Structure 1
């Protein structure tokens, strides 16, 4: 099933470029040697364009090829939405067993902002023991990052982080300690300076801490 032009359009463009050189060569006023070079270049472009066009028609640009092209263009491994909850100069973190360090509340980013807010609201309320009516989420920014992944033996991976600010109107009693346990999560409050001074947090998630620092 052919679902798009893909490389076919590339072949057509190359042929047009080759045809463009013909009048340019004949009307350029250059000596015969340079005119000959331009004509030869145009012929090369035309033949290459025809070859590309024939090859593209034989190898149709199907759904699999389209997916591979998109995958090659988009190197992002993970899109995560980050929730920054601030109490004075401290931020709420929880023990992320996957990263092996304390981290901001986070959830996989949804396809639209409205859906992202809806999913984040449900996640934050359920996982951190706070009624949805007691906080609001505000979209702040989006940041791309690349860094070694703890899940892939230190290979460089690509991430996209979407930052939200959570404005809490009624703080749960359980949150009033510096360290506390809620649901299945071990949580704590830390300042940005404390996060950057922590060797594990700074090594693994310096980019996220810096995003919060620079935008809130």
Structure 2
């Protein structure tokens, strides 16, 4: 999975976490602290000027105990590791949506559905899974279009990250689209109609020219239409 991150945001994160990244407590540090404390406990000290040897001994013992306590506290609290850093970097990702575009084509027509929320005809799409995405797509098509997964061939075509205006959110957003071409070994009879309804969702077959002539599609989804047009002949 590719991330879309501003360089300044990454630099800011690494600067803020540098204390944790550079100062993780190691077993060598703990061993050194214990060794210092044992040395202070077993060593014999001579009096220094007016300071008795026992005071000097206790002084170094106290230092050893405090240092060991400090290391122990840091060891318990500073558990910032590789996984934490990766999670923080992932959280910088500016990609708002990762979707898989599922392109089903019949001759020169493409299958679209009527998205009620966006009030626009769109290519079939699903949120991209980090693992087993193609299997998830087949299972979703089986459920949504009542297809047999054994008749579905799912082929990855390409991927693109782009910034586009979101009409529903009234702002520019960054999208990552994985493009998949779907081939059906057998097209069900109900899917041979120009449009049909299944599972309360309305589907349409449209040519590329029809999509490019549709003012609503041009306003809300033109970049995606061109992406499909350029990628799938």
Task: Decide whether the 8 Å contact of 1:174 with 1:182 is kept in 2.
Answer: no
**SS of residue in 2 equivalent to 1:133:** helix
2:139 counterpart of 1:122: yes
Greater Rg, structure 1 or structure 2? 2
Shift of residue 68, structure 1, vs aligned partner:
5.0
Quote the residue 1:177 is aligned against. Answer: 193
| Structure 1 residue 129, shift from structure 2 partner | 2.0
Q: Give the deviation of 1:200 after TM superposition.
A: 1.2
User: What is the distance in 2 between the residues matched to 1:66 and 1:168?
Assistant: 39
Task: Verify: 1:82 aligned to 2:131, yes or no.
Answer: no
Deviation readout 1:83-112 (Å, 9 max, x if unpaired): 111111000011112221111111100003
SS at match of 1:99: coil
Residues 61/192 of structure 1: CA separation in 2 closer, same or farther (3 Å cut): farther
Unaligned runs of 5+ in 1: 13-56
Structure 1 segments (4+ residues) deviating >2 Å: 4-12, 60-72
- Paired residues, number: 164
Q: Contact 1:85/1:92 (CA < 8 Å) preserved in 2?
A: yes
- Contact in 2 for aligned 1:105/1:124 (Cα 8 Å): no
Task: Write the distance in 1 (CA, Å) between the matches of 2:21 and 2:85.
Answer: 15
Say which of 210, 213, 223 aligns to 1:194: 210
Deviations along 1:103-138, one digit per CA (max 9) or x if unpaired, are 1111100003xx101111011111012211122100
Does the aligned pair in 2 maintain the 1:142–1:160 contact within 8 Å?
A: yes
Q: Does 1:93 align with 2:99?
A: no
Q: Do residues 213 (structure 1) and 229 (structure 2) align?
A: yes
Query: For the Cα contact (< 8 Å) 1:129–1:172, is it kept in 2?
Result: no
Match of residue 71, structure 1, among 85, 88, 91: 91
CA distance in 1, matches of 2:167, 2:147: 30
Contact 1:84 1:164 in 2 (8 A): yes
Residue-by-residue CA offset, 1:37-88 (whole Å, 9 max, x unaligned): xxxxxxxxxxxxxxxxxxxx9xx7958887555433x100110001111111
1:7 aligns with one of 14, 18, 23: 18
Gaps of 5+ in 2: 1-13, 24-73
Distance (Å, rounded) in 2 between the aligned partners of 1:79 and 1:137: 18
Secondary structure at the counterpart of residue 138 of structure 2: helix
1:6-61 superposed Cα distances (whole Å, 9 cap, x missing partner): 4249999xxxxxxxxxxxxxxxxxxxxxxxxxxxxxxxxxxxxxxxxxxxx9xx79
- What is the CA deviation profile of residues 176-201 of structure 1, one whole-angstrom value per residue up to 9, with x for unaligned ones? 11111112210110011111111111
RMSD: 2.8
